[in-house]
Structure formats: structure tokens, C-alpha cells
Chains A and B, each alone.
Chain A
């Protein structure tokens, strides 16, 4: 029996790292969205910063999803 501790450690580190990174970036995107919607509702125009922040964050998450699909589909590699 051989337990591959290195591989196990890699799975642990990468899984936790990726999860935290994706969720934090997405949460920042949601924060931007909330600012934008808040500003719009208060009638004070739109928050350009909010929109930009949301856009960039969601774009980054979309890229991770695309990489996930790439990993899932064997025909891609």
C-alpha cells in the first residue's frame, strides 16, 4: 500500500486555495453589483466603480468556470 501524501497535500492545498479565491472574487463582484443597484435605487445615478468592479470580478470567475469545463471534457486535452 502506498499513500501518496504529496498528491493528497496538493489536492488539499489547490482545492482550498481555488475555492477561497473564487468565492472571494465572486463576493467582491456581488459587492460591486450591490453598490450599483443601491445607487440606482436611490436615484443618485449609477455607480461606475460598482459596475466595473462587478464586471471584472464576474469575468474572472467566468474564466475559472471555462477552465473547469476544459478540465472536465477529455476531448480538450
Chain B
């Protein structure tokens, strides 16, 4: 058991970067739980992100079972160095920010896996990447989970409208809105227990590999607290651009559809976790929303948006892997100096993306006004803060 003197410059950089990733994970995924509740008016935008943020923090503290591997066996953990973890995180963060800019829901887990795969491939060679595990843990759940969620939401939506067809519209809308508050909260809580744990795992394993923690150590309290706060704060700030796409862009959501979609997401996430399947909350939630769109007669599903989203899913892993690989190469050959260079370039690109988003900000006050998330066309003078 070592002490704080084991925390080198590189380890400190990895911890900060991991928390930054955790933050982007939070705001990228607010939409998974809350987009449909915000779109149907079940919760006010600010209330929704507050509830979701708090539940993510609660979830982070509840799930203290240590993530035993960084990647679930996708890369050979014994070959992974802190430098590779750093490079992989940079790839994941930049991909998360870029997809947020264009308002596309893509999987934060796939971005993290992709970044690590690229970094390990360059840093340790292709034998460090277990491609069969990539198929088993990433590809198959990525195809199956949105389909299952979509079918479940479609059937449930169809039946919900059929059952309540003759009832008073006002009561129906109100009833399902109330239900949505519960179903969206469950998605948020499940998200906190799953996703915050990934960052805790990354930080804990980095500390173990640096000798600052014993081999079978769990995450120290400060790791749990900082990871929980990072994901909670990210969730609270809300990736409004992605919330707009999921709540308004894919299809026009009414409260029975929102309830059916969130129930389907919760059911798929909980049954999969129970049976040991790793899956992307984002893909499940997107599949549910599309299914709910198809289940209501005359609901318009915008297949162009859905197509772009699926394209983003396909390139998430390779794109993050590419950035992770390039970063790993710089870190490998440049040492601490290379790490600083990668960190500075990464921060500059991130700042550039945030500045670009300001040209057409999406925030709590305008999230429901539109169904598109444009980047190029500058919006007419708008007030409020971008998020």
C-alpha cells in the first residue's frame, strides 16, 4: 500500500482527464432519461436536469462494487499504461463533444472503448486488443438492444393508445405525464449506477497500476465522490442539443409515447444488467423513442435524423480509436512533454467546439422550440446561456 507520493504527473493528468470524460458522459446522456419528459412537458427543462443530476450522483454512491476491468476485457488490461488510458480518454472526450455539437446521441461507452482500443493498439500492438470481445461486448448489444427496446416501445405505445382511445384527452395526457416522472427517474438512477462506475474503475485501476493503491483495493471515497459529482454536474448542465434531437428531432413525442419509451428503456437496461450484458443507454433510449414514434398512428418519424444517428453509432468506435491512437503515439514518443502537448491540443479543440456551439446555442429556454440542431447558420440574436 503506497501513498500520495506515487501520484506522478501522468497519473494526476489521467485523473483529471477521466473526470472530464465523466462530465461529458453526464451531459451527453441527460437526454437518455429526460429528453422525452422535457418534450412532453412532464417536467420543466430545468427541473428535469436537476432531478436527473441528483439521481446520477445518488446512483454513483450506491454502486460501489468496483469495476474489475477498465474495458470488460476488450483490451488486455495488463498491457495498459496510464499514458494509454490518457490517450484513450482524450479520443472519447473529443468524440463526445463533436457529436454533442451536431446534436447526435452517440454512446459514451463506445467512445471510451474506441479511445482505449486505438491507444492500446498503437501503444502495445494489435495483440493487446481482443477483437472477438469487441464483437461480443460491443457489436451484438449495439444491434440487439435498440431493436428490442424499439419493439417493446412500439407494442406498448400501440396498446396504450388503443386502450385510452375513447378516454378524455386531458386526463390521459396528465396521467401519462405523471407516469413519465417515475419512469424517467428510474432511467437516471440506473444510469448513475452504471456510468459513473466506469470512471471510478478507470481512476482506481490507474492508481493501482501506479502503486498508490493495493491490488484488490476498491475506489477511495474521494474517487467515488469526484466521479459522482462530475457526472451529476454534467447531467445537470444538460446536453440540450442532444435533448432536442431525442425529444423533438426523431419524432414528435406525446406523453403516452414518452411513458412507453422510458418504460422500455428501463426494462431493457435493468434486464440486461441483471444478466450481465453491457449495453449503451443511449442506443437503448434512441431505439425506444423510434419504436414509440412508430407505435402511434400518424406519428412522423424523421428517418433522415435516425439515419444520421445510426451512422454516428457506426463511426463512434473507429473515430474515437483514431484520436486515441494518434494521442497514444504522441504520448509514447514524447513522454511527459508529449502528454502536455496532447492535453493542450485536446483542450484547444474542445474550446473550439464549445465556441462553435455558441453560434447557435440550445438551452433550457429554447430546447423545445425546434427539432433541428444547426451548427452553421447563426441564429438570430438570442439571449441566455448555452449549454
Q: Which residues of A contact B (CB under 8 A)?
A: 1-3, 7-8, 10-12, 14-16, 18-20, 22-24, 26-31, 33-35, 37-38, 61, 65, 68-69, 71-75
B interface SS class: helix
Q: Is the CB of B148 within 8 A of A11?
A: yes
Q: Is the CB of B171 within 8 A of A71?
A: no
With contacts A20-B156, A34-B164 taken as known, whether A72 is within 8 angstroms of B189 at the C-beta atoms is: yes
Q: Is the CB of A37 within 8 A of B155?
A: no
Q: Is the CB of B260 within 8 A of A23?
A: yes
Q: Verify if B347 is at the interface (C-beta below 8 Å from A).
A: no
Q: How far is the CA of A26 from the CA of B157 in the complex (A)?
A: 12
Contact of A14 among B144, B153, B267 (CB under 8 A): B267
Chain B residues with CB under 8 Å of A15's CB are 148-149, 152, 264, 267-268, 271-272
Q: Is the CB of A72 within 8 A of B277?
A: no
With contacts A3-B140, A23-B159 taken as known, whether A73 is within 8 angstroms of B62 at the C-beta atoms is: yes
Chain A residues with CB under 8 Å of B136's CB are 1-3
Q: Verify if B276 is at the interface (C-beta below 8 Å from A).
A: yes
Chain A residues with CB under 8 Å of B186's CB are 65, 68-69, 72
Residues of B in contact (CB 8 Å), total 53
Q: Is the CB of A74 within 8 A of B275?
A: no
Q: Is the CB of A68 within 8 A of B155?
A: no
For residue B168, which residue of chain A has the nearest CB?
A: A34
Most buried by B among A22, A26, A28: A26
For residue B273, which residue of chain A has the nearest CB?
A: A71
At the interface with chain A, which of B17-25, B174-182, B311-319?
A: B174-182
Measured CB to CB, the closest approach of chain A to B198, in angstroms, equals 15
Contact of B256 among A27, A28, A72, A75 (CB under 8 A): A27
* Leading 5 A-B pairs by shortest Cβ distance: A30-B175, A34-B167, A34-B171, A23-B156, A19-B152
Q: How far is the CA of A13 from the CA of B275 in the complex (A)?
A: 13
Q: Verify if B190 is at the interface (C-beta below 8 Å from A).
A: yes
Q: Is the CB of A69 within 8 A of B189?
A: yes
Q: List 27 A-B contacts (CB under 8 A).
A: A1-B132, A1-B135, A1-B136, A2-B136, A8-B144, A11-B148, A11-B275, A12-B144, A16-B148, A16-B267, A19-B155, A19-B260, A19-B264, A20-B156, A23-B159, A23-B160, A23-B260, A30-B164, A30-B179, A33-B171, A38-B171, A68-B270, A69-B189, A72-B186, A72-B189, A72-B190, A74-B193
